[in-house]
Structures are given as C-alpha cells and as structure tokens.
Structure 1
C-alpha cells in the first residue's frame, strides 16, 4: 500500500509540474504573439491588389506578344516576309508620335486678345492670351479625346513646349503671334461641346474680358507632322 501511495503522490507531483510547464509555455506564446491591426490588413490587401493588377497586365502583354507572333508566322506563310507588317507598325508609330501627317474630322479653334478698352480696375494681362490659356485649351481637348493637335500649324508631341515670349507664343521653338489657331482631330461634336463648356477657363475669360474665341466643326482637318528633331541628352539605351 505504501508503494501505491508513493506512486500516487509522484503522479500528482509530476502532473503538477507538467501543468506549471504548460502554463509557462502558453504565457510565453501569448507574450510573443503579434496582433494584426486593421491597417495592416488593409495594406496587405492593397499590396495583393497591386500584384493582381501587375499579373493581369503581364498576362495581357503575353497574349499580345503571342498574337503578334501568330500574325508574323501567318504573314511569313503567305508572303515569305514580314516586311509589310513591320512597315504598317512603323507608320502607326509615326502617327502616334507625330511624325506623320494625319487627317480626320474635328474642330478648329481661334483665340485672340481682347480688343475692348481696359477698365480702370482691370489688369492689362487679363485681356491678353497667355501660354497658360492655350495650355488649358489643349488639356480640355485631350480630355475630350483629341487624337492629334496642332497650334498655328505646329504639331504637338510629347516633347512640345508652349511658352510666352512677350505678346507671342513659342511652340516647338517657333514663335507665333495671335490669333492662335488650334486644330484637333477627334469626335467633332464631342470636342466642340467640351470647348463650349461654360465653366472652362477659356469661356470664363471670354465672358469677363471679351477675348476672341471661336469654335468650328470640320468634317476634315489635316494636321501636319512634326518637322523638328528630337535631341536627347540624357536618355541612353537600356541593357
């Protein structure tokens, strides 16, 4: 009987010790536990969304490249060369970058300085067309879907600059006086509607200062190609 009691006491002590060890272990685990905040969850979700969009864009790019390869292979089977396709792609690139004349429906816009007398409380600069006024018109046209734009015959490209030079405006390093004639190819009705928006900068200036402002729809507009040359000083070809 004595040995049985000793065994029972030993088991009790062992179980007690095990219980203490488990409690200490649980405490240590809880002490090292990091709770995830709602902000962290949101950041993770945002990162997942960014990665998802990247994967989607990569899949689209892969499909596009596969389509191009299939197109090239078909052209080689038919003609033995992809010269025609490459020439078409080059022409498309020239249209996009402004190195090719384009034609299409659109609008012709004429803006000029006000000819009325200056009131005593007015600033003379308010009655004059500045580069910022032209730029705002260009931005409105782009938002309205203009596919090609020129100012006084100068084709606008990604690298075009519009800046004031006294009473004149310099575009693509060529200087012109007013009136400024802006041509834009696109949906003529939509472009005209955007230009006639009463809340636009140019309409506000026309209302307040009587500047010259006309918009005319055209079934056919010819916009010439960019005649200058791009000179890169810092861009280098990647590996």
Structure 2
C-alpha cells in the first residue's frame, strides 16, 4: 500500500468518526430538546389544570357566598320586621298609657267650653238651658273618636274608669263636682278635632240646638299630669 492510500484510509476513518460524532451530538441535542419540550408542556399542562381547578373552586366559593348573602339578607329583613314590630308595640304602649292617664302628656290641642244658655224663655223649663252629662259625653266621645290622646274636664283628666253624673247645675266627674262653665280640653291635632265637632249637623249644632253656649279654641300648649291612683 502506498503512502497516499494510507492517508486516504486514515482520512476516511476520520470522516467516519467525525460523522458519527456529529450524528450522535445531533441526536443527543434533539433528544434533550424533546425532553425540554416535554417538560415545558407538562409544566404548562399542570398550570392549566391548577388554573381550571382554581376557577372551579372560585365558582364554588362564589356560589357559597351568594347563598350566605341570601341568608344574611333574610336575617336583616327579619330583624327589620322585628324592630318595626317592637317600635309599633312601644308606640301602642305609650298611646295606651296616655289614654289610661299613666303618664304626663303635653302638646297642642283644642279647648271646648260649654255654658248654660242665657236667652231663656220665661215659660221654658230651666233644665232645657242647662248643660247635662249627655252634652259633655257627646263632646268627649267625639274628641276621642277624632284622635284625642288625652281629655280633661275643668282640669280633671279622664281615664278608662271615668264616669260623669249630672246633679242639677253641676256635674260630677269621678266623684269631684264641677260647676258650669265646663271646659273640656283635649290633646291632639287641633284642626282635626275642631273640624270633627264643627261638621254640619254635628256635635256643635246639636248642642246649640239644645240652648247650650258652645265655644272652642285651639291651644298650642296643653299639659295633663298623670291621674293620681290611676
């Protein structure tokens, strides 16, 4: 074999080895790249799964939150109704206490004065010109019906057990005698109370027809003390 042939053999051998090394390096690089790509894909897949799971949990939490908000809303509504109920009970209790004369009351109102008639016919019966208990009853009842919170006769406050009896020219209220004129005071809306008494054919006209002198006056400040022993 000549030297030239020997160099060719060596060169060929070197080329073969070099090609093998290049191919091995390429395959190794390709495999490593594939591993990296697989690893990156797996990481991305895990992140997506975690995100999907997190969104699922968020939807569950949101659903639970809405349910709890509904419960809280119902509780608040129930509390508001109970608060209104207690307020109404307290208001009614205060109204009944005023009606029963248990508490001191102050407010605007109306004052009605009933006096015996003066233009008496000499031939007429004197009793036809006197204020009787039925006249006082009519005024008191109409005042209560019209919304009066408290009523007094000549400063004596009425309560649930009050009674009125006529004894000639005087009337007896709960055992206390009062001569005419009879001043009936009521706490309430003076416009409403006055209008109810002054209706056509109402209490005022009826009493005037019975020869009673009827006057009424609005008051800005009326004070009633509690009924003693009431």
TM range (shorter): 0.5 to 0.7
Count of residue pairs the alignment pairs up: 150
CA contact 1:198–1:204 (8 Å) conserved in 2: no
Aligned-residue offset at 1:131: 0.4
**Distance of aligned partners of 1:123 and 1:226 in 2 relative to their CA distance in 1, 3 Å threshold:** same
2-structure distance, mates of 1:102, 1:213: 26
How is 1:207-226 mapped onto 2 (pairs within 5 angstroms)?
Answer: 207=209, 209=211, 211-226=212-227
1:196-231 Cα deviation digits (max 9, x unpaired): 22312442331452x22111011221122212x35x
Q: In the aligned structure 2, how far is the partner of 1:168 from the partner of 1:92?
A: 31
Give TM-score scaled by structure 2 length.
0.57
Match of 1:102 in 2: 105
**In 2, distance between residues paired with 1:91 and 1:146?**
14
Q: Does 1:67 align with 2:68?
A: no
Larger Rg over CA atoms: 2
The corresponding residue for 1:24 is none
Counting helix residues as a fraction of each chain, which structure ranks higher? Answer: 2
Instruction: Return the TM-score normalized by structure 1.
Output: 0.55
Counterpart among 101, 113, 116 of residue 113 in structure 1: 116
In the alignment, the residues of structure 1 paired with residue 179 and residue 199 of structure 2 have an alpha-carbon distance, to the nearest angstrom, of 26
The change in CA–CA distance for 1:190 and 1:124 in structure 2 (over 3 A counts) is same
Give me the CA root mean square deviation: 3.1
Question: How big is each residue's C-alpha offset from its partner over 1:125-149, in whole Å with a ceiling of 9 and x where there is no partner?
Answer: 2210000100011111111111110
Contact 2:116 2:213 in 1 (8 A): yes
Q: Where does residue 152 of structure 1 map in the other structure?
A: 154
* 2:127 alignment counterpart: 125
* Alignment deviations for residues 90-143 of structure 1 (CA, whole Å, 9 cap, x no partner): 8766434202220111101111101123253x3322210000100011111111
Summarize the Cα distance change of 1:119–1:189 in structure 2 as closer, same or farther, 3 Å threshold: same
Residues 1-239 of structure 1 aligned to structure 2 (within 5 Å): 67=82, 94-120=97-123, 122-207=124-209, 209=211, 211-227=212-228, 229=229
What is the distance in 2 between the residues matched to 1:161 and 1:169? 10
Inter-CA distance 94–142: structure 2 relative to 1 (3 Å threshold):
closer
Q: Displacement, 1:89?
A: 9.6
Distance in 2 between residues matched to 1:163 and 1:208, nearest whole Å = 18
Contact 2:98/2:149 (<8 A) preserved: no
Change (3 A) 1:93 1:208: closer
